[in-house]
């Protein structure tokens, strides 16, 4: 009876094997139980599917920090055991330390949250039901990168897990998480391509077997199917084979991402498949030149694109393949040919999509800002570097390996000599290691914009390419990277370079006609990118540039207009394009293009009827028609054209027409406009953001807050006082405001002064919004003032120190206005009065 059962198992399994051609591979994403914190048998846990992260909400709430600690994933695993099989688990990504237990025994451990790993569980599995437990820990660990970073280190088994079974003779499941097959294309030209395959095979005995290579063309035509005899010895062996040369290859290029497909199998003497893999191959050659930039297949190509982080609202970093692919598609649809996987290796789906869609990729390990001077740290980082290179080696999209980011940020050459020397020494170690692992790609170190510091330290010398993260017009006051780029090229003329980051924050709720650094307006982001694009495109020695960032992303330490979010995305955290995304399309896309800038700003209230209207295009000229009246044709510069248009109250129809060689594109936009004057104020709600230059559209209440203005007759405005400006950059505070989502209203304020409103007679409700946003104030050193309406005290001894700092507070006051309008003033008792926003509504 027992024998019979085993036979049945074998036959069932053989059936699977044939279907999967010698390798059984299925995801193990379902049916897990998750335990936050330490494991206890008595707790039920939560039923979940992978991919999964436990930091879905806590990096975004108002409390400091998010859970970084241990958690457990438990699952049962039923196998039809078979003596002649090997069983592996392949984890694509677990952040950041994983211990894998099978039936209570430790089967494997992995360090590092962004690379894959293999666990051989063959010896621990028993027939029937097994218990699989994975302990995952995302605690800070001084020996594991990243030590720092402007992004969230979401914990969890956040990428796919696979169960793989093979024969005892199989391709190596290495300790670097790869699958033992490496493909290189040492010579590629239009006439000929050479393909070399290096494979490592594990065998349990001395035997004769074969390896077969079947190559299909991009059109799925068989090019060859050839076999090599192998003499296997028990243990591990590596084979190098040159495949038949390919004549007139169909080259891989971002515009024509032709992929050949190699099927590689280990066969036994009877030609039965023992193990099997299918690997796409792209045939291309490329180089970087210090003066001319990048060339692929002999053709010049400016590398243009973005960086990309891997998180998404209410998913953390646990994204489906489709979500990853959608991002890659958005990079492509922008007109890009290039991207940088931000600060770490990304999901295999990202690289597969890049190969297929035609995007060139720079990838790096998360060695961001800091090192720990310890052997363990160095070993972990080196291991991670090798993992990255071996796991992604076969992707034709990858052209650059990088390994450090902005290592000298906040450092000074004399003061920090010791640590700088250690960083530079370690850079050399990683550089040598990378070149030894992969001589077919370029190496790179991205630096922040301190040219001399990096140069003198030697960090511009070590890598083959230098990357610069340049925020001219954001962290640096000067708009445009031009002069920095020229300085670099003069200082290091023989080194090819890329801009690895450049970007400006923007919140789609914020629009401005007078955009400023740090106002987070959509318009400043456009202005920032426009100038930087001009500077980049003008310089042929700039091989390429990657915007920081494709999408907004979570960063728990950040308190921009939307706290906990880095808003430098060209698209939102929700992936909705911001207008800058369209600016890029006009610059980068080859097909005819036209789009209204600020096309999301279609309901406007303003004190001025004359509004600047901009269009992005790659056409020759644009004709604009406003409410059926043609306005003058604009020529445009650098893809941008602007008109000053008089809008009428109510619906305005804008029609733009751009002419191209053999086509015309038209775009129609409706702007619903309200001109604010004193009659308007008297019948609507007037909302004013004190201390701010921008319009703030609150999508929840569906209202627009006006930028403040100086008083004019028959209107409203402030008299005297000053904008709250705590630092030498932009406006407002860079702190989160609690108890509100409208941070930009409270982050900005006017200090002192008074306000006047030319209201018609009647009863009004006035809401005054406050927040203490000066960190130097406290309960003792507080602001105390009276608030007066038309010289009558309505609130006496108002003490802002009694309210928590950086917390929204509002006071509603009902008042009767006579024909002299409303004047709001303050009488200071202590400190200076402050007002963050005002709301006035007629009752």
Q: Give the footprint of Ca ion on this chain (CB under 5 A).
A: 689-692, 745, 748, 836-837
Supply the minimum distance, in Å, between the C-beta of residue 772 and Ca ion.
13
Question: How far is the C-alpha of 65 from the C-alpha of 339, rounded, in Å?
Answer: 30
Written as six digits, the tokens of 220 are 């799925």
Supply the minimum distance, in Å, between the C-beta of residue 779 and Ca ion.
23
Contact between 548 and ligand GCB per CB under 6 A:
yes
Supply the minimum distance, in Å, between the C-beta of residue 150 and ligand GCB.
3
Pick the closer one to ligand GCB by CB: 501 or 523. 501
Supply the minimum distance, in Å, between the C-beta of residue 779 and ligand GCB.
33
Written as six digits, the tokens of 421 are 């020397």
Pick the closer one to ligand GCB by CB: 99 or 501. 501
Task: Encode burial over 672-697: b for 16+ CB neighbours within 10 A, e otherwise.
Answer: ebebbebeebbeeebbbbbbbbbbbb
Max Cα distance, the chain (Å): 103
Pick the closer one to Ca ion by CB: 97 or 768. 768
Kind of pairing between the strands at 594-596 and 610-617 = antiparallel
How many CA atoms does the CB half-sphere of 179 hold within 13 Å?
A: 21
Pick the closer one to ligand GCB by CB: 149 or 249. 149
| Nearest alpha carbon to residue 553 among 540, 568, 539 | 568
Among 306, 566, 697, 815, binds ligand GCB (CB under 6 A): 566
Question: How far is the C-alpha of 733 from the C-alpha of 748, rounded, in Å?
Answer: 7
Pick the closer one to Ca ion by CB: 481 or 690. 690
Contact between 448 and ligand GCB per CB under 6 A:
yes
Binds 754: which of Ca ion, ligand GCB, none (CB < 5-8 Å by kind): none
Contact between 405 and ligand GCB per CB under 6 A:
yes
Q: Are 789 and 757 in contact (CB under 8 A)?
A: no
Query: For residue 559, how many other CB atoms are within 10 A of its CB?
Result: 18
Question: How far is the C-alpha of 629 from the C-alpha of 733, rounded, in Å?
Answer: 44
Query: For residue 383, how many other CB atoms are within 10 A of its CB?
Result: 17
Binds 405: which of ligand GCB, Ca ion, none (CB < 5-8 Å by kind): ligand GCB
Written as six digits, the tokens of 685 are 């709600």
Binds 617: which of Ca ion, ligand GCB, none (CB < 5-8 Å by kind): none
Contact between 150 and ligand GCB per CB under 6 A:
yes
| Nearest alpha carbon to residue 9 among 202, 188, 241, 165 | 165
Which phi-psi region, left, alpha or beta, contains residue 608 (left: φ > 0; alpha: ψ -120 to 50)? beta
Contact between 743 and ligand GCB per CB under 6 A:
no
Supply the minimum distance, in Å, between the C-beta of residue 448 and ligand GCB.
6
Written as six digits, the tokens of 718 are 């402030």
Q: Are 539 and 499 in contact (CB under 8 A)?
A: no
Residue of closest CB approach to ligand GCB:
150
> What are φ and ψ of residue 696, in 5° steps?
-125, 115
Binds 431: which of ligand GCB, Ca ion, none (CB < 5-8 Å by kind): none
Pick the closer one to Ca ion by CB: 405 or 836. 836
Contact between 92 and ligand GCB per CB under 6 A:
no
Question: How far is the C-alpha of 438 from the C-alpha of 390, rounded, in Å?
Answer: 9
**Distance between the two ends of the chain, CA-based, in angstroms?**
89
Binds 448: which of ligand GCB, Ca ion, none (CB < 5-8 Å by kind): ligand GCB
Binds 469: which of ligand GCB, Ca ion, none (CB < 5-8 Å by kind): ligand GCB
Query: For residue 120, how many other CB atoms are within 10 A of its CB?
Result: 15
Pick the closer one to ligand GCB by CB: 150 or 774. 150
Q: Is 380 helix (H, G, I), strand (E, B) or coil?
A: helix
Pick the closer one to ligand GCB by CB: 150 or 535. 150
∠ CA 309-314-320, rounded to 5°: 60
Supply the minimum distance, in Å, between the C-beta of residue 569 and ligand GCB.
10
Binds 501: which of ligand GCB, Ca ion, none (CB < 5-8 Å by kind): ligand GCB
Supply the minimum distance, in Å, between the C-beta of residue 605 and ligand GCB.
32
Supply the minimum distance, in Å, between the C-beta of residue 309 and Ca ion.
30
501 Cβ contact partners less than 8 Å away, ≥ 6 residues apart: 307, 340, 446, 467, 468, 469, 470, 471, 546, 547, 548
Supply the minimum distance, in Å, between the C-beta of residue 553 and ligand GCB.
8
Binds 586: which of ligand GCB, Ca ion, none (CB < 5-8 Å by kind): none
DSSP-derived secondary structure letter, 685: E
Name residue 565's beta-bridge partners: 554
Supply the minimum distance, in Å, between the C-beta of residue 469 and ligand GCB.
4
Pick the closer one to Ca ion by CB: 402 or 749. 749
Supply the minimum distance, in Å, between the C-beta of residue 343 and ligand GCB.
6
Question: How far is the C-alpha of 281 from the C-alpha of 196, rounded, in Å?
Answer: 11
Among 92, 355, 387, 406, binds ligand GCB (CB under 6 A): 406
Size of the site for ligand GCB (CB under 6 A): 10
Among 55, 174, 310, 469, binds ligand GCB (CB under 6 A): 469
For residues 264, 269, 275 and 280, what is the CA-based torsion angle, rounded to 10 degrees? 10
Binds 690: which of Ca ion, ligand GCB, none (CB < 5-8 Å by kind): Ca ion
Q: Are 91 and 348 in contact (CB under 8 A)?
A: no
Pick the closer one to ligand GCB by CB: 128 or 410. 410
Among 501, 560, 754, 839, binds ligand GCB (CB under 6 A): 501
Pick the closer one to ligand GCB by CB: 28 or 550. 550
Name residue 213's beta-bridge partners: 226, 264
Binds 150: which of Ca ion, ligand GCB, none (CB < 5-8 Å by kind): ligand GCB
Burial classification of residue 503, based on how many CB atoms lie within 10 Å of its CB (0-12 exposed, 13-18 middle, 19 or more buried)? buried
| Nearest alpha carbon to residue 769 among 691, 677, 676 | 691
Contact between 580 and ligand GCB per CB under 6 A:
no
DSSP-derived secondary structure letter, 571: B
One symbol per residue from 505 to 544: x for binding ligand GCB (CB under 6 A), - otherwise; what is it?
----------------------------------------
- Catalytic residue numbers, as ranges: 406
Binds 266: which of Ca ion, ligand GCB, none (CB < 5-8 Å by kind): none
Residue of closest CB approach to Ca ion:
748
Written as six digits, the tokens of 675 are 């001109």
Q: Kindly list the residues in this chain that would bind ligand GCB in the complex (CB under 6 A).
A: 149-150, 405-406, 448, 469, 501, 548, 566, 568
């Amino acid at each position: 009876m027992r024998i019979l059962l085993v036979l049945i198992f074998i036959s069932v399994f053989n059936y699977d094997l044939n279907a999967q051609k010698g390798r059984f591979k299925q995801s193990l994403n379902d049916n897990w139980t998750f335990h936050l914190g330490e494991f206890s048998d008595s707790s039920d846990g939560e039923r979940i599917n992978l991919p999964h992260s436990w930091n879905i909400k806590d990096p975004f709430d108002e409390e400091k920090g998010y859970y970084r600690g241990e958690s457990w994933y438990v699952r049962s695993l039923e196998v039809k055991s078979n003596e002649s099989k090997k069983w592996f688990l392949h984890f694509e990504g677990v952040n950041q330390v994983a211990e894998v237990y099978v039936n209570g025994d430790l089967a494997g451990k992995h360090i590092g949250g962004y690379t894959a790993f293999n666990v051989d569980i063959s010896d621990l599995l028993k027939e029937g039901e097994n218990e699989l437990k994975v302990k995952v820990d995302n605690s800070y660990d001084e020996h594991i990168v990243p030590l720092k970073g402007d992004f969230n280190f979401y914990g969890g088994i956040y990428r796919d897990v696979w169960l793989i079974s093979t024969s005892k003779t199989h391709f190596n499941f290495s300790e670097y998480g790869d699958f033992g097959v490496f493909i290189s294309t040492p010579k590629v030209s239009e006439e000929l391509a050479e393909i070399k395959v290096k494979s490592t095979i594990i065998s349990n005995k001395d035997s004769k077997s074969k390896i077969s290579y079947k190559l299909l063309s991009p059109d799925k035509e068989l090019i060859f199917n050839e076999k090599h005899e192998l003499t296997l010895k028990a243990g591990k062996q590596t084979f190098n084979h040159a495949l038949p040369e390919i004549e007139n290859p169909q080259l891989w290029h971002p515009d024509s991402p032709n992929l050949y497909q190699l099927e590689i199998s280990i066969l036994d003497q009877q030609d039965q498949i023992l193990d099997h893999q299918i690997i796409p191959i792209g045939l291309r050659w490329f180089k970087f030149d210090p003066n001319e930039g990048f060339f692929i297949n002999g053709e010049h190509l400016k590398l243009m694109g973005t960086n990309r982080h891997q998180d998404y609202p209410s998913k953390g970093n646990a994204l489906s393949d489709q979500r990853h692919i959608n991002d890659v598609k958005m990079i492509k649809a922008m007109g890009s040919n290039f991207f940088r996987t931000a600060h770490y290796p990304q999901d295999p789906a990202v690289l597969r999509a890049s190969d297929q869609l035609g995007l060139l990729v720079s990838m790096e390990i998360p060695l961001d800002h800091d090192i720990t001077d310890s052997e363990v740290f160095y070993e972990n980082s080196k291991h991670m570097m090798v993992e990255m290179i071996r796991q992604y080696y076969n992707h034709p999209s990858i052209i650059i390996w990088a390994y450090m980011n902005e290592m000298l940020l906040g450092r000074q050459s004399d003061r920090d000599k010791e640590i700088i020397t250690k960083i530079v020494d370690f850079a050399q170690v990683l550089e040598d290691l990378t070149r030894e692992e992969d001589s077919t790609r370029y190496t790179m170190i991205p630096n922040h914009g301190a040219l001399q510091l990096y140069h003198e330290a030697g960090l511009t010398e070590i890598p083959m390419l230098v990357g610069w993260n340049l925020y001219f017009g954001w962290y640096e006051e000067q708009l445009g990277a031009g002069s920095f780029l020229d300085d670099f090229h003069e200082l290091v003329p023989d080194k090819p370079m890329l801009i690895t980051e450049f970007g400006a924050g923007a919140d789609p709720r914020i629009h401005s006609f007078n955009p400023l650094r740090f106002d987070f307006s959509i318009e400043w982001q456009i202005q920032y990118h426009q100038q930087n694009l001009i500077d980049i495109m003008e310089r042929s020695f700039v091989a390429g540039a990657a915007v920081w960032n494709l999408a907004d992303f979570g960063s728990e330490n950040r308190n921009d207009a939307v706290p906990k979010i880095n808003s430098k995305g060209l698209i939102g955290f929700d992936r909705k394009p911001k207008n800058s995304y369209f600016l890029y399309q006009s610059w980068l896309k080859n097909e005819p293009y036209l789009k209204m800038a600020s096309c999301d700003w279609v309901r406007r209230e303003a004190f001025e009827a004359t509004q600047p209207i901009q269009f992005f295009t790659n056409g020759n000229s644009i004709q604009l028609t406003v409410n059926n009246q043609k306005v003058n044709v604009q020529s445009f510069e650098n893809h941008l054209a602007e008109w000053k248009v008089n809008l009428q109250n109510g619906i305005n129809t804008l029609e733009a027409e751009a002419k191209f060689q053999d086509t015309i594109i038209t775009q129609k936009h409706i702007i619903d406009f309200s001109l604010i004057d004193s009659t308007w104020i008297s019948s609507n709600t007037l909302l004013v953001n004190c201390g701010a230059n921008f319009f703030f559209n609150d999508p929840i209440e569906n209202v627009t807050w006006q930028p403040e203005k100086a008083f004019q007759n028959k209107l409203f405005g402030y008299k005297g006082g000053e904008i709250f400006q705590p630092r030498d950059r932009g406006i407002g505070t860079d702190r989160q405001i609690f108890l509100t989502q409208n941070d930009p209203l409270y982050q900005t304020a006017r200090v002192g002064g008074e306000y006047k409103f030319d209201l018609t007679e009647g009863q009004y409700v006035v809401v005054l919004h406050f927040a203490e946003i000066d960190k130097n104030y406290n309960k003792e050193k507080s602001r105390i003032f009276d608030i007066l309406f038309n010289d009558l005290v309505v609130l006496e001894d108002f003490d802002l120190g009694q309210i928590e700092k950086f917390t929204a507070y509002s006071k509603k006051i009902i008042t009767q206005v006579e024909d002299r309008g409303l004047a709001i003033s303050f009488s200071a008792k202590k400190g200076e009065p402050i007002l963050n926003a005002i709301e006035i509504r007629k009752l």
